[in-house]
Structure 1
Amino acid sequence: MTRAAGTTQHRAPSALPRLLAAPVRGVRRVRRPATSAAPAFDVAYVRSGPHADVPIVVIPGGPGLGSVLPYRRFRREAAQRGLDVIMMEHRGVGLSRADLDGRSLPLSAMHVVDVVDDLAAVLDQEGVSRAFISGSSYGSYVAAAFGARHPERVAGMLLDSALQSVADRDAERAMIRGLFVEADTRIAASVRELLEDGSDPRLLLGVLRAAYELGGTELLEPLLRQRLHGAHRTGRGDHAGRGSSGHASVWAALEAYVDKAESEAHVPGFYEFDLVGAIAFRELGFGPDPDGSPLDPSLTYAPVADRFPRFAGEPFDLPSAAAGFDWPTVLLSGTRDLRTPAAVAQRVAETAPDTVLVEIDNGHSALESHPLALLHALQRLSRGEQRRLPDESALMSALPRRGLVAGLPRLLHAGTRWEAALRS
């Protein structure tokens, strides 16, 4: 693939999303006209729950996550709480992947400003003049960009794991290295030893980040001990311990969990990065820009960088735009979030005039990892009660975890204990 042209053949659209979405209620489509960069195509979306004058728009992260299929349970939970939820299938993903002739959209069609205008078209078709806009991770960038481009249509906003600027990578680096390299802790000492033994820094960071965000130090510390035990026993450096059925299974499971960028995992209708990755690289700076120090998050997507356009600049200046957000804004931040550090949410809270910052015991993106906490916050926001949320953070943290990745921490904890028992 040439990095700029975006004309290389991509996967043909799969029939699977349409088959799986057939029984899903409320799926609708709005025609998007042809432009110089994109053919005409239909954007799919779903609306659920009792209709309200001011519904809630929920935008998933990625980019690459679908909306219609992955969040059916989330929408059921929302409807039970009386929430009117609209979720749009992102252009280039699932039910919004193909043009009118059934061909995958080109990379040239992938721009944040067009995604924002897709959402405005959805609201137009639904006869919605104003909505509460909620975005998680990459979705928070789209949500804030919608506010910058269509401020008159925003009744309130929730930014879950706020992503605001390419420059925030420096805060991400500082948090990761502070925890895992520079700290005077057993975890940091173990990480330094693994790096000295030749572990691949990119894969090591992926496992560290996933384990910490999913299960905190209670999961990460024994996992690192077991990894080092295997390294000392085999003396095999980066591949240490892979021959044993012990810690290799949990470590390998985590590597598989974080490996979607490197392997470009493609699950039609659920996660499709191969087209929307153009946004990630061209506009959000996902391409490698390493600083030469260990555990650099810039290297996460390095294996697929040559498949997408080079970084051309951000489409919005969201840190500056936040000063004009005159609607109530909730900033939801996980205490273990290593991808969008709390410093980003704190900066937005200091810039936007009407904000509430809520920290919960969680990792990245409550929509995937703690959706009941997100729904509670959305309920408060939709009722004008968002000022109560900071005092309810412990309650939100303690709610049952039912997200897309909610079961992983329990499985990983159990696997780590099982492997420790095998070694004893």
Structure 2
Amino acid sequence: MSPRNLTAPTFARTRLGSGPGLLLAHGAGSSLAGTYGPVLEALAARNTVVGIDYPGSGETPRSTTPLSVDDLADQLVAAADAEGVDRFAVSGYSLGGPVAIRAATRHPERVTALVLTAAFPHRDNRLALASSIQSKIAATGDRELLAEFQLMVALGTQALESMPAEQLQQTLGYVAAGTVDGSAEQTDLVGQVDVRDDLAGVTVPTLVISTTDDRLVSSALHRRLAETIPGAQLAEIATGHLPMLERTEEWLQLMTDFLDKHPA
């Protein structure tokens, strides 16, 4: 029996568009709109898009207990159930990558393809340190300091250093305003999640999109996904951890080309 039968949808969800099913799993400290906003309309023009907001993001209440990747994966599938979407590809960004992978292994009869961007199977030392620092800053409620740290580690070198001072301050303000209440809990999960044992069991077509100037989630972790998931394809974008800001059209094109070849 599929675990989906045991899960009622409780997270805020979004449905857009029509066509083959596509579920979206966002990154830590973000939201569905924060991660996928720049490409949502284009994805919905070709797919029935269903996404959730993790606890403390969007309209989903903050959790009083630690988050688990199983719960996030099951809630993503429960959202599809609630919207009447039976089979679907799953796109996961950063923390959403492990969520997508776990959805594929817990609900193999439902998932038809995976797109994993800037994702990781487990933390390495750099990601462990960065997630610990980010979680501690988030717990203080200092949104400006959190935004400074996030931009320092998440923007690619070219994108960061090419910003005039005024634009950098504007971007810091934008990032600070978009900080979610559940950032600390979501970032804590980044430092704990480990889906290495899931990878060999992923049996659907998979695209791993590596952000090659990523100083938060290293390209070595991206490649580990591509090398371990059977038959996975690897594509590279010369960007930091934020392709939706730095290389929006290139990121969208990689996703849509792959999804067109592997419709749900």
Q: Provide the TM-score with structure 1 as the length reference.
A: 0.49
Matched, 1:253 2:169: yes
Distance 1:56 1:134 in 2: 7
**Offset at residue 341 of structure 1 (A):** 1.2
> Residue 144 and residue 213 in structure 1: after superposition, are their counterparts in 2 closer, same or farther (change >3 A)?
farther
Partner of 1:407: none
One of 8, 29, 43 as aligned partner of 1:64: 29
Partner of 1:88: 52
Distance 1:70 1:123 in 2: 19
**Offset at residue 204 of structure 1 (A):** 9.7
Distance 2:69 2:32 in 1: 17
Matches within 5 A, 1:276-355: 276-281=183-188, 283-285=189-191, 313-314=192-193, 317-355=194-232
Structure 1 letter corresponding to 2:108: P
Distance 1:129 1:106 in 2: 28
Q: Deviations over 1:265-289 (max 9, x none)?
A: 4x4xx431x33522422x332xxxx
Partner of 2:242: 365
Provide the alpha-carbon RMSD of the alignment.
3.5
Partner of 2:159: 215
Distance 2:151 2:57 in 1: 27
**Offset at residue 85 of structure 1 (A):** 1.8
**Offset at residue 213 of structure 1 (A):** 3.8
Partner of 2:75: 118
> Residue 69 and residue 106 in structure 1: after superposition, are their counterparts in 2 closer, same or farther (change >3 A)?
closer
Distance 1:206 1:109 in 2: 22
3-state SS of the aligned residue for 1:107?
coil
**Offset at residue 132 of structure 1 (A):** 0.7
- Matched positions, count: 241
Matched, 1:271 2:179: yes
Distance 1:255 1:382 in 2: 31
Task: List gaps (5 residues or longer) in structure 1.
Answer: 1-31, 34-40, 98-104, 174-201, 224-246, 286-312, 387-424
Contact 1:66 1:93 in 2 (8 A): yes
Distance 1:256 1:362 in 2: 19
Partner of 2:141: none
3-state SS of the aligned residue for 2:79?
helix
Contact 2:237 2:251 in 1 (8 A): no
Partner of 2:92: 135
Aligned-residue identity in percent: 24
**Offset at residue 155 of structure 1 (A):** 0.5
Contact 2:203 2:230 in 1 (8 A): yes
Contact 1:206 1:255 in 2 (8 A): no
**Offset at residue 356 of structure 1 (A):** 0.7
Contact 1:210 1:254 in 2 (8 A): no
**Offset at residue 359 of structure 1 (A):** 0.8
Distance 1:361 1:329 in 2: 20
Contact 1:136 1:367 in 2 (8 A): no
> Residue 255 and residue 95 in structure 1: after superposition, are their counterparts in 2 closer, same or farther (change >3 A)?
closer
| Larger Cα-atom Rg | 1
Larger RCO: Structure 1 or Structure 2 (Cα < 8 Å, ≥ 6 residues apart)? 2
Contact 1:171 1:343 in 2 (8 A): no
**Offset at residue 113 of structure 1 (A):** 1.9
3-state SS of the aligned residue for 1:94?
coil
One of 116, 123, 127 as aligned partner of 1:159: 116
Distance 2:24 2:168 in 1: 32
Structure 2 letter corresponding to 1:381: F
**Offset at residue 165 of structure 1 (A):** 0.8
Distance 1:118 1:276 in 2: 18
Partner of 2:19: 51
Distance 1:359 1:85 in 2: 24
Partner of 2:135: none
**Offset at residue 133 of structure 1 (A):** 0.6
Partner of 2:136: none
Matches within 5 A, 1:94-243: 94-97=58-61, 105-108=62-65, 110-166=67-123, 168-170=124-126, 209=153, 212-215=156-159, 219=161
**Offset at residue 376 of structure 1 (A):** 1.5
